[in-house]
């Protein structure tokens, strides 16, 4: 079966949204190809897979993909990105409500390889340094998400040498989006009152920090010992030691890509993420 290009369906859907708003389906072949490519999608229970397929279709209806440097974003690429981006939203209620987490932007820019970004930093002596940073992805507050296609495509490759394999740059960047729903990325997304049995939003945030701060400090220490003194590298991506926001993003990647191992490595964080990503199941 050869489905009409999603871009055309997107345009069509936008035109009729005001009346019946049908969601263009993702074809069975395209969907199968996506879940077979990434083990963490393929091992989801079947009802979750069909929920994810519907959520991804709605996501595609609302987002616009652009290929950088002449890259042609195919339907398969768009579906792979949509499925990974929507995985964290599976248990947040009706698709329209769940997708509200991503409603502050429309554009997704896909690069054919790692992107180089020009950066500027001022050191303690006041000297300005210009440098290039290699990026696999980037998420801007109220702005587009940028992704490198090879990094998107390799998501979920198995662990090796006791360290986490390629996780999911898509989940990583979309976790920054969720984090930034209440201001600049700081590793703490907006939390509902009553979260983890708390009585107020303030108490919910205090409970969140009480779990994350010590875990972050401990992880940073482990990475520093590995870097400077030849200690064992942690399983989780060491990039998480650069800032609480990055720790949150890599922890969420690991939680979705290899949940049992994440629970072993971070027994205090796993229940917090479980409550956050499954609000309906846990009240």
Residues that bind Zn ion (CB under 5 A): 246, 249
Q: Give the ranges where 64-121 is alpha helix by DSSP (H).
A: 75-86, 95-98
What are the CA-CA distances from residue 68 to residues 83, 138, 149, 183, 188 (Å)?
Answer: 21, 14, 10, 28, 31
Residue 156 or 244 having the CB closest to Zn ion = 244
Residues 6+ apart with CB under 8 A from 242: none
Compute the least distance from the CB of residue 174 to Zn ion, in Å. 11
Q: Is 110 helix (H, G, I), strand (E, B) or coil?
A: strand
Q: Residue 128 has which token pair?
A: 């300005």
Distance between CA atoms of residues 212 and 244, nearest Å: 8
Our CB check for Zn ion shows the closer of 95 and 234 to be 234
DSSP label at residue 183: S
Please check whether residue 24 is in contact with residue 61, taking contact to mean a CB–CB distance below 8 angstroms.
Answer: yes
By beta-carbon proximity to Zn ion, the closer residue of 60 and 170 is: 170
Q: How far is the CB of 191 from Zn ion (least distance, A)?
A: 20
Residue 63 backbone phi and psi in degrees, to 5: -115, 155
Q: Which is nearer to Zn ion, 134 or 206 (CB)?
A: 134
Sign of CA dihedral 244, 247, 253, 255: negative
Q: What's the length of the chain? A: 283
Q: What element of type H or E holds 145?
A: strand 145-148
Would you say 195 or 248 has its CB closer to Zn ion?
Answer: 248
Q: Give yes or no for a contact between 215 and 227, defined as CB atoms under 8 angstroms apart.
A: no
Q: Which is nearer to Zn ion, 133 or 221 (CB)?
A: 133
Work out how close the CB of 255 gets to Zn ion at its nearest, in angstroms, rounded to a whole number.
15
Beta strands in 69-127 (DSSP E): 107-111, 115-122
Between 75 and 253, CB nearer to Zn ion: 253
Query: For Zn ion, which is the closer residue by CB, 15 or 142?
Result: 142
In angstroms, give the least distance from the CB of 172 to Zn ion: 6
Q: Work out how close the CB of 260 gets to Zn ion at its nearest, in angstroms, rounded to a whole number.
A: 24
- CA-closest candidate to residue 17, choices 68, 74, 62, 56: 62
Whether 198 and 208 have beta carbons less than 8 Å apart is answered as: no
């Amino acid at each position: 079966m050869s489905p009409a290009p999603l871009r055309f369906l997107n345009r069509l859907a936008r035109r009729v949204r005001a009346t019946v708003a049908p969601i263009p389906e993702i074809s069975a072949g395209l969907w199968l190809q996506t879940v077979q490519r990434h083990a963490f999608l393929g091992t989801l229970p079947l009802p979750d897979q069909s929920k994810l397929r519907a959520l991804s279709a709605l996501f595609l209806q609302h987002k616009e993909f652009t290929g950088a440097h002449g890259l042609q974003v195919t339907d398969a690429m768009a579906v792979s990105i949509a499925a990974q981006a929507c995985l964290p939203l599976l248990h947040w209620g009706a698709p329209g409500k769940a997708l509200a987490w991503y409603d502050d932007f429309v554009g997704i820019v896909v690069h054919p390889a790692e992107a180089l970004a020009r950066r500027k930093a001022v050191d303690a002596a006041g000297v300005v340094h210009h440098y290039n940073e290699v990026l696999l992805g980037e998420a801007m507050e109220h702005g587009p998400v940028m992704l490198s296609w090879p990094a998107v495509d390799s998501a979920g490759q198995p662990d090796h040498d006791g360290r986490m394999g390629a996780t999911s740059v898509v989940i990583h960047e979309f976790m920054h989006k969720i984090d930034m729903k209440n201001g600049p990325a700081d590793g703490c997304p907006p939390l509902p009152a009553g979260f983890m049995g708390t009585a107020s939003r303030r108490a919910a945030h205090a409970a969140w920090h009480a779990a994350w701060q010590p875990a972050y400090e401990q992880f940073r220490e482990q990475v520093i010992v590995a870097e400077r003194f030849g200690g064992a590298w942690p399983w989780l991506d060491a990039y998480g030691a650069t800032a609480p926001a990055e720790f949150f993003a890599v922890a969420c990647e690991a939680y979705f890509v290899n949940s049992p191992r994440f629970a072993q490595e971070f027994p205090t964080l796993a229940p917090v993420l479980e409550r956050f990503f499954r609000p309906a199941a846990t009240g």
